[in-house]
Structure 1
Amino acid sequence: MSNFYKLLKEKFPRKEDIVTEMINLEAICQLPKGTEYFISDLHGEYDAVDYLLRTGAGSIRAKLLDCFDWQKIVAVDLDDFCILLYYPKEKLAFDKMNLSASAYKTKLWEMIPLQIQVLKYFSSKYTKSKVRKQLSGKFAYIIEELLAEIDRNPEKKSYFDTIIEKLFELDQVEDLIIVLSQTIQVLIIDHLHVVGDIYDRGRYPDRILNRLMAFPNLDIQWGNHDVTWMGAASGSYLCMVNVIRIAARYNNITLIEDRYGINLRRLVDYSRRYYEPLPSFVPILDGEEMTHPDELDLLNMIQQATAILQFKLEAQLIDRRPEFQIHNRQLINQVNYKDLSISIKEVVHQLKDFNSRCIDSKNPSRLTSEEEELLQQLMIAFQTSESLKKHIDFLFEKGSMYLTYNDNLLFHGCIPMHSNGDFKSFKIAGKTYGGRDLLDLFESQIRLAYARPEKHDDLATDIIWYLWCGENSSLFGKNAMTTFERYYVSDKVTHQERKNPYFKLRDKDDICTALLQEFDLPKFGHIVNGHTPVKEKNGEQPIKANGKMLVIDGGFAKGYQKNTGLAGYTLIYNSYGIQLISHLPFTSIEEVLSGTNYIIDTKRLVEEAKDRILVKDTTIGQKLTKEIKDLDHLYRHFQEYDD
């Protein structure tokens, strides 16, 4: 321990330095806690996600109502001002096109003092040093001066106005307004929690990740779709063909080819050589138009090729991993290749749209030499994509299977359970795992696989695939993934995927209390859970177990919105309590600019704090308190730690 204090003394070589730091940390502990924002199941829908981050899920508008008496500010429309704060570049361009030059300049003059007042109000709960870090280098000094003089006396009015006039003269006013809006956006969310599934059917998970990488404070709890991309980068051929298949199914091949720079030419040639378009593989467009009809056929054939490759590889994995206990999913081996039928639960079904041209009926899971070479080439392309590696590195750096933070438990998916509430067990290498231990096992194996990308069929890499579709996977949460049946069997009874009992049990207060205890959290904590859309139109509620369980599937994927009745939920936890936000579908930035698309539907109070929550009451506060104790010890024993 003495070495620790010697190192600490190197950082604070004078007692005055220790005093300054202790006072600073003590003061921070007395500030209101920052606003946490929870978002889940982003599914590649960049524009909708970006809108919620820009608006703080309505928090900016709500704070503006607190900041000003809008009945007295007759010259400025609240909604119009909000749009400027949300989309400053686009709003300025819109106004410049629709207003006269003089009216546009007058409006800019009016906006800057308001923005400065808003920034001052929003930053009042933070230290000056924290606010200073968020200011753009280009305008940092100017903004600090404007903040200092916004509540100016008449004698200094000319000082403030001269700064603005000079910015007009130098054609810098628009840039200043943009920076002010962006700074306000950053300050409204102090910490962002992304509760899984950045990837899926949406077109722009890469843009979302780039957006998140610029966020100062965030964490990620991995979702099932995230993990398959992580698995592909870690060396899993199964995960790789799965993400390609899903991309082809949802018309998102451009993500792989154009933006990740992964060459699919050999796969395209292979797909065209052995497959032809079939009805079961028509891509799902989510309302988007295809510019070239031939692209539909190509996506159809790629989807078929990768599906067969996936089923072959899956059968091989099941053979080498009997401990996974998913032998019933070796469906490609169970096909009767004489009449192309399959027996499922003692019922014989004729297969539809099943192209067996590349399958050896005597050894169905065997890859051809051409397929082996193709997979090897694709893996090299995936693992040498710099842009993909940047994103996967970020997921590993900021992500985990679960997080405990400020007495809340965050995870995607479920904690696998039996119907009586006991944890389901998963046995590997002679040891049984369940509950928290199971999630810890999964995380350690995911990280091990990524550390050894040259290994393609080791246990760690295979466990990533198990997380995608295994019965005891906390990210999947069902008894089986019926991809094979959905493609090739007409009887929809075979398509059913039975959910883990967790999804019913999570409605119960005692179950949620037990889950919190499993993760060493107090019974007054909350569980924030993503993964499953809440069908509110059928009466399902996102707030469960007397407020202990909060289900916040963001509902961004357009394909799910018709089943849920809205566009999902996000969660805000500030110093006053917890609010659940429900959304309407996002349409377009153009409609936002015209004032016709405000997607915040309703806000529900989950829990109101009896007293305003301070930093000292949070996870960060606990760390700061420990730092203060260490500094206090060093101060009182300063001479003992001389070299």
Structure 2
Amino acid sequence: MERYLQPQDLTLKYLELLAQSYPTIQTASTEIINLRAILNLPKGTEHFISDIHGEYEVFTHILKNASGSIKRKIDECFGDTVPDEEKKLLATIIYYPEKKLASICAQGLNTREWYRTILERLIMVCRVATSKYTRSKVRKALPVDFQYIIDELMYTDNFETNKQEYFANILETIIDIDRADEFIIKISQLVQRMVIDKLHIIGDIFDRGPGAHFIMDDLCKHHNVDFQWGNHDILWMGAACGQLACIANVIRNCIRYGNFDTLEDGYGINVRPLAVFAMEQYRNDPCVSFRPKEVENALSSHDQEMAAKINKAISIIQFKLEGQVIMRHPEYQMESRLLLDKINWEKGTVVIDGKELPMNDLSMPTVDPANPYQLPPEESELMEGLRLSFLHSEKLQQHTRFLFKKGGMYKIYNDNLMYHGCIPLSEDGGFAGFIVDGVEYSGQSLLDYCDRICRRGIYSTGQDQREGQDFMWFLWCGPMSPLNGKDKMTTFERCFIDDQSCWEEHKDWYYSYINTRATAEMILREFGITAKRAHIVNGHVPVKIKKGESPVKAGGKLLIIDGGISKAYQPVTGIAGYTLVSNSHELVLSEHQPFTSLDAIIQENQDMHSKNISIEVFPQRVKIRDTDEGRIISAKIVELENLLDAYRRGVIKQKG
């Protein structure tokens, strides 16, 4: 027993607490046997997705087809024994069982023989999809309605003579009692769940597309998900906490992308008072620079005019509110973004970075030149109403707390370092420092600081809470923000200056160095990651495939997986997004082609076309013992072995 820690070397109280869960030698021994066996199972499949930007249909389909994994499972099951068209049909049923069954029934194709064939094939696919998990884990995932039946079918060999009749009779009975459709739906959902063991979201669920609230609804129900906050996410989180500058930015983004669905229908935010205010203040102003260019073809002329007025009204309010935050926080070093007080109203110019530039618009009826950052009473009342609307949105509050609970600035998991934007670097390639109250934060300590301060915005009170909420706005647009990765956001310039040379936003030095392996390895070391198979998984900046860019950087150590799930980016990227898949055999980047339509998938069994790029093939199949989960299990085994030793030595008495 010398290889075990002696009981006196451990806290006896801890062993006694552990004994409450394992009260006898038998229960402790059984758990040790079980855990040691689990260590030798293949690791579960991880999926990494970034920059979803409200594209609900595309995101949902990528999850449903598991980036092509389900098709591969079907091929593994049937090979050439089943025609391709029938395999495509089976895949569509697994992706969208309710819709496909409705189509099959409408065509009168749902014969008894058809049901029998589909049920048998689904059970075979389910067996393959669950084969690397313990029976206990699979049972926990089984749908309650069919738990016993699926368990029996999964572990009954229908090719064994003694069980053939038993197996066939179960299927016949399911069909006889008119439960085949429901069974197909439940087992299809089980397959979807088991092919993705863990889901990593590398930031930016919100803005651009109209379905962020639907995506969040689904993720709140997901069995195993984590988030690395993106700049758009943190903006919405700040708005949900009541930070006024964040609220103004959220509304402006929704107007810019014509995305009132998420704001009004999804979260119940009432923008009618803002619309009334805008139409009154800017009734004779064409607001040309504020037209929502991204969606102008989807809006009528009247709607474009109204959207432009609302956009201008909230933009002016935004510039004032941002100015107030900047003046409250000199540590942000954003004084150069105080521009309203730099306007020369007589000359029609503004001074930006020491350069006097002509403005294309001086119509700002709510700006007091003597006190440009103060909101007049009507704007203050308007923003207070919007603040209360954000705070009282039950769904938005639920989603925000979920993001705080499951998310953070970065995550280290199975030797992969995940973050959305960047690790700020200086011109010489070293870590850039952010100084607060005389303390410098850089690298990992900067991200830890950011994470800690943000949480004050929701969990703290008083001044700490206000500072946390202001800091969420800083992370959206600040020059040292790991989520922004730029020196500034030139929103004011784009609205009021025709000279586009002042629109430029300089990226952090991080983006100049990420192609070098030495930089990636420096960052990994900073976070305590030294494993040879370690990678950085990054989002935020769309990879322009059409221009020859590659998502694989730094000799394969850094992977940028923002490939343009958002339709707005697809003309630039040339594809419709990436999914990074890490299974027990290899690390694979799936490059997706644009999503056609849900109707085409249902009616014609089409699928999103994806090309797989192998990043790394593991020399040996990765087992759970090689993972973070395995390290936790191994530690628990040692604890149980010490408990077992304590029982046998009589240090702790068995109970029961």
Query: What TM-score, normalized by structure 2, do the two folds share?
Result: 0.94
**AA matched with 1:274:** Q
Which residue number in structure 2 is paired with residue 40 of structure 1? 50
Asked whether the equivalents of residues 235 and 454 of structure 1 are also in contact (C-alpha less than 8 Å), the reply is no
Q: CA deviation at 1:594?
A: 3.5
**AA matched with 2:12:** S
Asked whether the equivalents of residues 279 and 353 of structure 1 are also in contact (C-alpha less than 8 Å), the reply is no
**Which piece of structure 1 moves more, 399-408 or 600-609?**
600-609
Once superposed, what is the RMSD of the aligned Cα atoms? 1.8
**AA matched with 2:266:** R
Which residue number in structure 2 is paired with residue 19 of structure 1? 29
The reply to whether residue 249 of structure 1 matches residue 256 of structure 2 is yes
Asked whether the equivalents of residues 53 and 566 of structure 2 are also in contact (C-alpha less than 8 Å), the reply is yes
Asked whether the equivalents of residues 68 and 610 of structure 2 are also in contact (C-alpha less than 8 Å), the reply is no
**Which piece of structure 1 moves more, 598-607 or 149-158?**
149-158
Q: CA deviation at 1:338?
A: 2.1
Aligned ranges 1:414-493 → 2 under 5 Å: 414-452=422-460, 458-493=466-501
Change (3 A) 1:168 1:63: closer
Change (3 A) 1:207 1:455: farther
Deviations 1:399-440 (A, max 9, x none): 010001101100000000012211111111121111111001
Alignment partner of 2:599 out of 587, 590, 606: 590
Deviations 1:183-205 (A, max 9, x none): 00000000000000011211011
Secondary structure of the residue that 1:119 maps to in structure 2?
helix
Change (3 A) 1:286 1:552: farther
Q: CA deviation at 1:286?
A: 4.8
Which residue number in structure 2 is paired with residue 266 of structure 1? 273
**AA matched with 2:492:** F
**AA matched with 2:652:** Y
Q: CA deviation at 1:122?
A: 1.2
Which residue number in structure 1 is paired with residue 241 of structure 2? 234
**AA matched with 2:251:** I
When the two structures are aligned, how many residues end up with a matched partner?
639
The reply to whether residue 372 of structure 1 matches residue 380 of structure 2 is yes
The reply to whether residue 538 of structure 1 matches residue 547 of structure 2 is yes
Distance 1:593 1:353 in 2: 51
Which residue number in structure 1 is paired with residue 512 of structure 2? 504
**AA matched with 2:520:** C
Which residue number in structure 2 is paired with residue 337 of structure 1? 345
Aligned ranges 1:345-360 → 2 under 5 Å: 345-360=353-368
Aligned ranges 1:130-529 → 2 under 5 Å: 130-276=137-283, 277-286=286-295, 289-290=298-299, 293-452=301-460, 458-524=466-532, 525-529=534-538
Change (3 A) 1:591 1:418: same
Which residue number in structure 2 is paired with residue 609 of structure 1? 618
Unaligned runs of 5+ in 1: none
**Which piece of structure 1 moves more, 81-90 or 124-133?**
81-90
Distance 1:81 1:603 in 2: 22
Asked whether the equivalents of residues 343 and 350 of structure 2 are also in contact (C-alpha less than 8 Å), the reply is yes
Asked whether the equivalents of residues 207 and 259 of structure 2 are also in contact (C-alpha less than 8 Å), the reply is no
Q: CA deviation at 1:627?
A: 0.5
Change (3 A) 1:453 1:600: farther
The reply to whether residue 127 of structure 1 matches residue 134 of structure 2 is yes
Q: CA deviation at 1:100?
A: 4.2
Deviations 1:108-136 (A, max 9, x none): 22111011011111111000111011111
Which residue number in structure 2 is paired with residue 49 of structure 1? 59
Secondary structure of the residue that 1:202 maps to in structure 2?
coil
Deviations 1:332-360 (A, max 9, x none): 22111224321334443322245311100
Asked whether the equivalents of residues 486 and 507 of structure 2 are also in contact (C-alpha less than 8 Å), the reply is yes
Change (3 A) 1:272 1:454: farther
Asked whether the equivalents of residues 571 and 578 of structure 1 are also in contact (C-alpha less than 8 Å), the reply is yes
Distance 2:195 2:277 in 1: 50
Deviations 1:60-102 (A, max 9, x none): 1112222222x22249622121111111111111222234454
Distance 2:53 2:278 in 1: 27
Distance 1:507 1:244 in 2: 36
**AA matched with 1:471:** P
Asked whether the equivalents of residues 236 and 456 of structure 1 are also in contact (C-alpha less than 8 Å), the reply is no
Alignment partner of 1:640 out of 647, 651, 655: 651
Deviations 1:156-177 (A, max 9, x none): 3332222222222222101111
Which residue number in structure 1 is paired with residue 639 of structure 2? 630
Asked whether the equivalents of residues 239 and 390 of structure 2 are also in contact (C-alpha less than 8 Å), the reply is yes
Secondary structure of the residue that 2:356 maps to in structure 1?
strand
Q: CA deviation at 1:178?
A: 0.9
Unaligned runs of 5+ in 2: 1-10
Deviations 1:582-610 (A, max 9, x none): 11111311122244753233111101111
Change (3 A) 1:339 1:34: same
Q: CA deviation at 1:495?
A: 1.0
Q: CA deviation at 1:490?
A: 1.1
**AA matched with 1:536:** I
Secondary structure of the residue that 2:542 maps to in structure 1?
coil
**AA matched with 2:44:** G
Distance 1:172 1:293 in 2: 52
Secondary structure of the residue that 2:559 maps to in structure 1?
strand
Asked whether the equivalents of residues 286 and 559 of structure 1 are also in contact (C-alpha less than 8 Å), the reply is no
Deviations 1:381-410 (A, max 9, x none): 111111101100100010010001101100
Asked whether the equivalents of residues 236 and 457 of structure 1 are also in contact (C-alpha less than 8 Å), the reply is no
Once the two structures are aligned, what percentage of the paired residues are identical? Answer: 38
Asked whether the equivalents of residues 458 and 465 of structure 2 are also in contact (C-alpha less than 8 Å), the reply is no
Asked whether the equivalents of residues 586 and 597 of structure 1 are also in contact (C-alpha less than 8 Å), the reply is no
Distance 1:74 1:548 in 2: 40
Which residue number in structure 2 is paired with residue 564 of structure 1? 573
Q: CA deviation at 1:537?
A: 1.2
Q: CA deviation at 1:15?
A: 1.1
**AA matched with 2:627:** T
Q: CA deviation at 1:254?
A: 2.6
Distance 1:119 1:618 in 2: 25
Asked whether the equivalents of residues 115 and 175 of structure 2 are also in contact (C-alpha less than 8 Å), the reply is no
Change (3 A) 1:45 1:503: same
Change (3 A) 1:310 1:453: farther
Q: CA deviation at 1:153?
A: 2.6
Asked whether the equivalents of residues 456 and 465 of structure 2 are also in contact (C-alpha less than 8 Å), the reply is no
Alignment partner of 1:575 out of 575, 578, 584: 584
**Which piece of structure 1 moves more, 342-351 or 493-502?**
342-351
Which residue number in structure 1 is paired with residue 7 of structure 2? none
Distance 2:84 2:212 in 1: 40
Asked whether the equivalents of residues 516 and 554 of structure 2 are also in contact (C-alpha less than 8 Å), the reply is yes
**Which piece of structure 1 moves more, 71-80 or 583-592?**
71-80
Query: What TM-score, normalized by structure 1, do the two folds share?
Result: 0.96
Deviations 1:180-227 (A, max 9, x none): 111000000000000000112110111111111121111100000000
Alignment partner of 2:107 out of 98, 102, 105: 98
Change (3 A) 1:257 1:56: same
**AA matched with 1:490:** D
